[in-house]
Amino acid sequence: MAVHTGPSVAPAADGTPVRGRSRGAGGPAGKTRPPGGLRRALSVHWYAWTMVAPVVVVIGVIIGYPLLRGVYLSLTDANERNVERNIGVNHLPATYEFVGLDNYTDALTGSQFLGTLGWTLVWTVSCVSVTFALGLGLATLLNRRIAGRSLYRMLLILPWAVPGFVSVFAWRFLYNEDRGLLNKLLAGGGIDAVPWLNDPTWAKFSVIAVNVWLGVPFMMVALLGGLQSISGEMYEAAEMDGANARQRFRHITMPGLRPVSTTVILLSTIWTFNMFPVIFLLTRGGPGEATQILVTQAYKFSFEISPRDYAQSSTWGVLILVLLMLFAAVYRRVLRKQGDTW
C-alpha cells in the first residue's frame, strides 16, 4: 500500500472495478422502436440522461473501451509481429487469430503465473499488515497531547509528500551493495555488507521495507482521524470501571476504529497488489524474477520482451482484475456479516 502514485502504467485491463456499465453510445440517439419501458424512462428522465451522458461517454472511452479491448486481446494470440501497423510507407495488416481461452489455460496451469501470484500475495499481506500495525502504533502515539505533536505529524507525513519515484530511487542508492549508505553504516559497526537487492530473499525484504515506508503516512493519517472521532467519555467511563490501558485499547479503540480500518485495509490491499512503481524501479522484478509481482510481470510481457506478447499480458491483466474483484466482493460480504454498514 502506499500513496497512489498517479495513473498506473500497467498495460490494458487494469484498474479498480468501475461502477456501472459503460454504454458505447451515450444517450438516446439512434434508437429503433425501443420497448415501452425504455421509452417512458427516456421521456420522463430525458433531462437526467442528458446530464449523465457526457460522463458515460468519457468513462466508456477511457475505461470501457480499453477494458473490453484488453479482454478481447486476451482471447487472441496478438503480439508485436501480428498486430496492425501503419508506419509511413509500410502498411501491415493485422494477422492475429482468435484462440479462445488458450491463454487462460496456459496461465493457470503454468508455474509462472501461480508462482508470481504466490509472491504477490505474500507481498500484499506482509506490506498491508506491517503498514497497518506501524500506522496504528504511530497514530496512537500522536493521539495525545505531547510537545511538538504537529512537528512529528509533519515529519511522519514526509514520505507521502515526496513523489514516489524519487523516494524509490533514493532507496535504491541506499541499498547499493558496495556504495550504498546502509552497508557503509553496517561496515562502521563491523557487520558484513548485506546484498540488499542482489540476493532473492533480501530483495524481497527490501521491496517490502520500502513499500511500508511509503505507506505508513497514509495509514497513520487515516487512523489518526479515526482515533479522534472516538469520544473521550468512553475512555473515562472505562477507566472508572477499572479497565487498564490494554483493555481500553482492545474494547474501545479497536471497535471504534473499525469503519476507518476496514476501508483503509481494502484500499491499501488493492493498491499494494498493483504497486507497480516500487517493484519496477527498485529491482525491475529481479534478481532473476524473484520480486516480480503480477502487474510488473504483465508489463514485462507487453513492453520488455520481444516480440511483445500483448495477448499474454492482457490475460494476466484480466486475471488481476478478476482476483481483485473477487477479493473486494468477499471482503465486503464478510464485513456485512459482521454488521458493518457498507
Partner 1 sequence: MRRGITATALAAILALAATACGSDGDSGSAGGKGGELSGTVTWWDTSTVGSEDKVFKKLAEGFTAQHPKVKVNYVNVPFGDAQNKFKNAAQSGSGAPDVIRSEVAWTPEFADLGYLAPLDGTPALKDEKDFLPQAAASTKYAGKTYAAPQVIDSMGIFYNKKIFKEAGVEVPGTVAELKSVSKKIKEKTGKTGLYLRGDDAYWFLSFLYGEGGNLVDAASKTVTVDDPAGAKAMAVVKDLVDSGAAKTDATDGWENMQASFKDGDVAMIINGPWAVADTYGGAQFKDKANLGIAPVPAGSVAQGAPQGGHNLAVYAGSKNLDASYAFTAYMTSAESQAKVAEELSLLPTRTSVYERPEVAKNEIVGFFKPVVDKAIERPWIPETGSLFAPLVTEYTKVLTGQTTPEKGVTSTGDAYRKLLKGWK
Tell me whether residue 53 or residue 186 sits nearer to partner 1 (CB atom): 186
- Reading the block at residue 252, the C-alpha cell is 474501545
Tell me whether residue 22 or residue 308 sits nearer to partner 1 (CB atom): 308
Tell me whether residue 236 or residue 304 sits nearer to partner 1 (CB atom): 304
Among 72, 208, 220, CA closest to 135: 220
CA 56 vs. chain centroid, Å, equals 24
> Among residues 46, 80, 158, 334, which is the contact residue for partner 1, using CB under 8 A?
80
For the chain, the straight-line distance linking the first and the last C-alpha, in angstroms and rounded, comes to: 22
3-class SS of residue 85: strand
Rounded to a whole number of angstroms, the minimum distance from the CB of residue 177 to partner 1 is: 6
**What is the DSSP code string of 70-114?**
HHHHTTBT--TTTS-EEETTEEE-----B-TTHHHHHHHHSHHHH
Tell me whether residue 14 or residue 223 sits nearer to partner 1 (CB atom): 14
Rounded to a whole number of angstroms, the minimum distance from the CB of residue 74 to partner 1 is: 18
Binding flag, residue 115, partner 1 (CB under 8 A) = no
Binding flag, residue 287, partner 1 (CB under 8 A) = yes
Report the amino acid identity of residue 18: V
Phi/psi of residue 22, nearest 5 degrees: -80, 140
- Reading the block at residue 26, the C-alpha cell is 451515450
Contact 329, 322 (CB under 8 A): no
Binding flag, residue 178, partner 1 (CB under 8 A) = yes
What number of residues does the chain have? 342
Q: How far apart are CA 190 and CA 187, in angstroms?
A: 5
Binding flag, residue 89, partner 1 (CB under 8 A) = yes
Mark the segment that binds partner 1 (CB under 8 A) among 27-35, 48-56, 80-88, 224-232: 80-88
Rounded to a whole number of angstroms, the minimum distance from the CB of residue 303 to partner 1 is: 6
Contact mark string toward partner 1, 20..59, x via CB under 8 A:
----------------------------------------
Report the amino acid identity of residue 271: W
Binding flag, residue 87, partner 1 (CB under 8 A) = yes
Contact mark string toward partner 1, 157..176, x via CB under 8 A:
---------------x---x
Tell me whether residue 56 or residue 300 sits nearer to partner 1 (CB atom): 300
Report the amino acid identity of residue 116: T
Among 278, 279, 338, CA closest to 3: 278
Tell me whether residue 93 or residue 242 sits nearer to partner 1 (CB atom): 93
Binding flag, residue 92, partner 1 (CB under 8 A) = yes
Tell me whether residue 308 or residue 319 sits nearer to partner 1 (CB atom): 308
Among 339, 190, 332, CA closest to 262: 332
Binding flag, residue 200, partner 1 (CB under 8 A) = yes
Binding flag, residue 90, partner 1 (CB under 8 A) = yes
Site for partner 1 in 213-272 (CB under 8 A): none
Q: How far apart are CA 269 and CA 131, in angstroms?
A: 11
What one-character DSSP code corresponds to residue 76? B
Q: How far apart are CA 177 and CA 229, in angstroms?
A: 46
3-class SS of residue 191: coil
Site for partner 1 in 290-319 (CB under 8 A): 290, 303-308
Tell me whether residue 126 or residue 198 sits nearer to partner 1 (CB atom): 198
Contact 304, 38 (CB under 8 A): no
Tell me whether residue 199 or residue 234 sits nearer to partner 1 (CB atom): 199
Binding flag, residue 190, partner 1 (CB under 8 A) = no
Binding flag, residue 88, partner 1 (CB under 8 A) = yes
**Omega before residue 28 within 30° of 0, cis:** no
Which stretches of the chain bind partner 1, using CB under 8 A?
Answer: 80-81, 83, 85-92, 172, 176-179, 197-200, 203, 283-284, 286-290, 303-308
